[in-house]
Amino acid sequence: MGEVFLARVGDSADTLVLKRILPHLTENPRFLRLFLDETRIASRLVHPNIAQIHELGEVDGTWFVAMEHVDGKDLREMLKRTREVGHHVPIEVAVAVGVEIARGLSHAHAATDAQGRSLRVVHRDVSPHNVLIGRNGDVKLIDFGVAKAANKSVQTGTGILKGKFPYMSPEQANAQPVDPRTDVFALGIVLWEMLCAKYLFRGKTDAATLKLVREAQVPVPSTLRDDVPEALDRVLLKALAKSPDERYATAELFREALAGVLSNLAPPNLPKWMREYDDV
């Protein structure tokens, strides 16, 4: 749907990512409204764990967005590389990533508009594809393209599924109303997969994947990896409860629970982990 460039800021060494929407797509009013919605939502979310939007603009009929450049890899690529060499993500690294993404989600869920009214943002697409890990250890959430928010000009119709099937919550897969607990569930999937080095809900077809999501049968992580502490089992299984009412009510409560587990683990070293697998 667009082109992505690495851009230098003037004569400085600073860099930005420039996303340019393909011209023929901007002729589609609905697509343009979706793009503007995504950018406007993300531009209000100023937080260390969310990739920052710097500018939205239009030049000669071409729309663009300039955003923060994270020098690193997305989590999907990092997990692929660790699996290729038969390794596991260190427990403390996985939990630390979970803590940081939960912190970013907590900020997004609490975001307000210029009048102080809640935006009621739900990301709806928390997945390894949308988590960036910087070589310096920064963890950033990106892509609010399918986010649900109160002030979006284009709303999702009833019965339409938005997001990646393997990272949906059961209610999302059933096209039911979603709230921040949907993002808690999705982050739980991401963390489970980091720990267990396999997909949690991945069928041979989209229909099979959705069936697995709706059933929400979650193996206890420590049965697949014996160094997972019991406390982490409990936290993850709560986040991945089939019923939203049985999950953490907020991303902040999930973050606090993960931080409690992390306090009893070895200090995480994300830059070291990045260096180990960056060039595999």
User: pLDDT tens for residues 239-257?
Assistant: 999 999 999 999 999 999 9
In the predicted structure, residue 92 carries a pLDDT above the cut 90? yes
Task: Provide the pLDDT for residue 158.
Answer: 42
In degrees, rounded to 5, the angle at the alpha carbon of residue 128 between the alpha carbons of residues 232 and 24 is: 155
pTM of the model: 0.89
Task: Using only the alpha carbons of the chain, give its radius of gyration.
Answer: 19
Tokens of 178: 């979603």
In the predicted structure, residue 28 carries a pLDDT above the cut 90? no
Distance CA(208)–CA(202), nearest Å, equals: 8
Q: How confident is the model at residue 1 (pLDDT cuts 50, 70, 90)?
A: confident
Three-state DSSP state, 154: coil
Q: How confident is the model at residue 36 (pLDDT cuts 50, 70, 90)?
A: confident
Three-state DSSP state, 120: coil
φ and ψ at residue 75, rounded to 5 degrees: -65, -30
Three-state DSSP state, 140: strand
Q: Mean of the pLDDT values across residues 253-263?
A: 98
Dihedral angle of Cα 249, 95, 258, 121, to the nearest 10 degrees: -30
Question: How many percent of the chain have pLDDT more than 90?
Answer: 62
- 11 tagged catalytic: no
Listed range (16-20, 119-123, 155-159, 251-255) with the worst mean pLDDT: 155-159
Of 125, 143, 183, 279, which one is the catalytic site residue? 125
Among the listed residues 207, 187, 159, 203, the one whose alpha carbon sits nearest the alpha carbon of residue 247? 187
